[in-house]
Chain A
Amino acid sequence: MPLDAPFPRRRHRAARPLAALVAIACLALGLSACSASGSEAKPEGATRTVVDVEGTEVEVPVHPERVVALSEPTLDGALALGVTPVGTISGRGQRGVPNYLADLAGDIPILGGVAQPNFDVIANAEPDLILVDGTSINNNPEAMTILRRIAPTFYAGYAGGDWRATFTKTADALNLSDRATEVIADYDAAVVDARKKLTAYTDDTFSIVRWQGGSASLILNELPAGIALTDLGLHRPPNQDRRGRGHSEPVSLENLADIDADHLFFGTLGGSSNGNPDAGGSSDVSGAEQALRQAEKVPGFTALGAYRAERILPVDGSLWTSTGGPILMQRLVADVLRILS
């Protein structure tokens, strides 16, 4: 066996490290006992009490002025309501703010990534309200404890939850519920308007694919882009006409034909992933075109009906295959109109 390297003998040692470890443990217990706990940051000035999606009562300023939005849906929601946060996190798989919000949020300082918020820089931003949701701080009571020490922290919605619900909650925390009703009405009006222009496509089928790491995954009905297609009256192929588990559903390469449809929206989030956020690549339309050239080399891809009919439509992956709020939805509708007309 080449791996066998026997160890001939052993050295002597003292038992002192044990005493040291016990001492450290006692010290730690002592420290934790005497450290101040339980006190949360209280806003200055006039406040009101709101109930977040988890049922927690949060005392927030009547007019929050320094809002930190630690997720894509709350950032999108705040911007839609005319509130520019003083800090946010980088978009999923991206270095900066989500690409589709770059024109509105490009100047907002980045305070960390989706899964690893940097509490020090969040505190530096001196927020008076922190907005989070399940797409960022997810089932992490310790992170919530730290954030609540920095500023009142409002949990706006669950991961994969209905964008309208998360947006309505976000607006409640910001004391802008009336404005939120208008924003949602604007979206509904845009949808009605767009449906009239898309009547030629009501008999076609549409597929939404995220191409990542050399293979495909499907965006199904419960995700924002799927919701937009449903709202617009555009149909999915029968095998895709269902709700997924709240994230894109991987399709193995031997089942590649499952992604086929009359029209195929094709996006990517670049080469990066949650575990490797700096792998580079781009999530915008040029990134999608680059990914498409790689996909063409995968056996079977060029046999897809959509490919042969030249109806593979490269789209901005940050818009089509991630998460967001009303601005995302509005821009999805506009993107569909732009591409199909």
Chain B
Amino acid sequence: MTQHASPDAAPRHRTVAFSGLSLRYPARAARSGLLLLLAIAVTTVAGLLIGDYDITVGETLQAAVARGDDPLAIYFVHDVRAPRVLTALVVGAALGMAGSLFQNITGNPLGSPDIIGFTTGAATGALVQIIVVGASTHAVGIGALVGGFLTAAVVLGLACSSGLDGGRLVLVGIGVGAALGALNSLLIVRASLVTAQTAAQWLAGSLNAVLWPRASLVMIAVAVLTVPALLLSRPLGMLALGDDSCAAVGIPVRRIRLGAVLTGVALVSVATAATGPIAFVALAAPQLARRLAAVPTPGLVGSALMGALLVQVSDLVAQRLFAPTELAVGVVTGAVGGLYLVALLAGEWRRNHA
């Protein structure tokens, strides 16, 4: 980026001190984080209040605090819209964090789980559960987790036989992802109508009819996974200095990288298990957050906030664009994210051929 033309130019930092502890943070990143939080707050309230159910804004607000004489209005706001909005935010944050982890591991903006096949692999695991086993909702989630991890093992095994190379990982991942995508189509075509329909609906990536049990489960899982993600993100960022320099200052390079891969795969698998694949968020959120904060590498918190905002806004668009007919949120992120991917590739090409 132009404002960092000199390699040792760092973003402007501020420092706050509090009872012996001090925290140094980049000023613009903090501002962009606040901006994202504000946007998330606005879209969350919009998600709770906007709907086709025939009540006034006042009645909706009453229902939000569990007052008013229409029990169905209270039910819609508390038990249908609230879990949907929170799931959108948490799944978006998980995808953003996973994207940030992988883009830092590979040092490559294309090294995100939806490009390198992990999302597709999680979908394969879920489809095997839906179509071959004929399993219930929770088993589908477990299938997605297993599928995501197996895919990660295959991709990393093939790509990293001689050390980790970001470009190689991306190319191998694209190949494995394409093969798994074909397998997913085959599974659906070979399925009976009942299971094929369940599978196709799940594959679209939808937040329609997410209730509290599912929302709570995904929130707990993502909250737990956020702990290792935060602990790993700082040493992971230092890996950009080169493996040897890191090893010299005592950073356990291999352990950090392995831990980040496991956490990232778990995050993307949990998100996919909860809603079906929501395309391109893990790819786009870290880079958009990085640009907004004007920092050189995608940070974990910014990516999480941007991911949450992207999925929440996309779900609002999916609900409102052709109202009363709803789209699946994955259709919206797929359409917008596809354009983003083209722009990203075009930009990379220009930079390398200028």
Q: Does B230 contact A17, Cβ atoms closer than 8 Å?
A: yes
Q: Does B210 contact A245, Cβ atoms closer than 8 Å?
A: no
Q: What interface size band does chain B fall in?
A: 35 or more
Residues of A contacting B: mostly: loop
- Chain B residues 232-253 with CB under 8 Å of chain A are 233-234, 236-238, 240-241
- Chain A residues 38-67 with CB under 8 Å of chain B are none
Q: Does A115 contact B324, Cβ atoms closer than 8 Å?
A: no
Q: Does B198 contact A138, Cβ atoms closer than 8 Å?
A: yes
Q: Does A37 contact B208, Cβ atoms closer than 8 Å?
A: no
Answer whether A31 and B82 are a contact pair too, CB < 8 Å, given A6-B107, A118-B324, A120-B76: yes
Q: Does A146 contact B198, Cβ atoms closer than 8 Å?
A: no
B352 at the interface (CB under 8 A from A): yes
Can you list, as one digit per residue, whether each of A15-52 has a CB less than 8 Å from chain B (1) or not (0)?
10110011011001101100111000000000000000
A5 at the interface (CB under 8 A from B): yes
**Residue in chain B with minimal CB distance to A143:** B209
Give complex CA distance A22, B301 in Å: 14
* A277: chain B residues within 8 A (beta carbon): 325
Q: Does A13 contact B194, Cβ atoms closer than 8 Å?
A: no
Answer whether A4 and B108 are a contact pair too, CB < 8 Å, given A118-B324, A120-B52, A135-B197: yes
Answer whether A246 and B194 are a contact pair too, CB < 8 Å, given A5-B348, A112-B326: yes
Q: Does A2 contact B352, Cβ atoms closer than 8 Å?
A: yes
Q: Does B240 contact A7, Cβ atoms closer than 8 Å?
A: yes
Q: Does B80 contact A119, Cβ atoms closer than 8 Å?
A: yes
> Smallest distance from the beta carbon of A14 to chain B beta carbons, Å?
6
Answer whether A116 and B325 are a contact pair too, CB < 8 Å, given A14-B25, A21-B222: yes
Stretch of B117-125, B144-152, B260-268, B291-299 that contacts chain A: B291-299
* A140: chain B residues within 8 A (beta carbon): 198, 201, 209
Q: Does A13 contact B107, Cβ atoms closer than 8 Å?
A: no
* A113: chain B residues within 8 A (beta carbon): 325-326
Question: Which one of A7, A25, A35, A115 lies within 8 Å of B219 (CB-CB)?
Answer: A25
Question: Which one of A6, A18, A31 lies within 8 Å of B227 (CB-CB)?
Answer: A18
- Chain B residues 124-157 with CB under 8 Å of chain A are 137
* A31: chain B residues within 8 A (beta carbon): 78, 82, 212
Give complex CA distance A138, B209 in Å: 12
Q: Does B25 contact A13, Cβ atoms closer than 8 Å?
A: yes
* A276: chain B residues within 8 A (beta carbon): 331
**Residue in chain B with minimal CB distance to A249:** B189
* A237: chain B residues within 8 A (beta carbon): none
Give complex CA distance A163, B194 in Å: 15
A278 at the interface (CB under 8 A from B): yes
A149 at the interface (CB under 8 A from B): yes
Can you list, as one digit per residue, whether each of B68-90 has a CB less than 8 Å from chain A (1) or not (0)?
00011011101110110010001
* B194: chain A residues within 8 A (beta carbon): 134, 138-139, 158-160, 246
* B162: chain A residues within 8 A (beta carbon): none
B213 at the interface (CB under 8 A from A): yes
B220 at the interface (CB under 8 A from A): yes
B204 at the interface (CB under 8 A from A): yes
* B187: chain A residues within 8 A (beta carbon): none
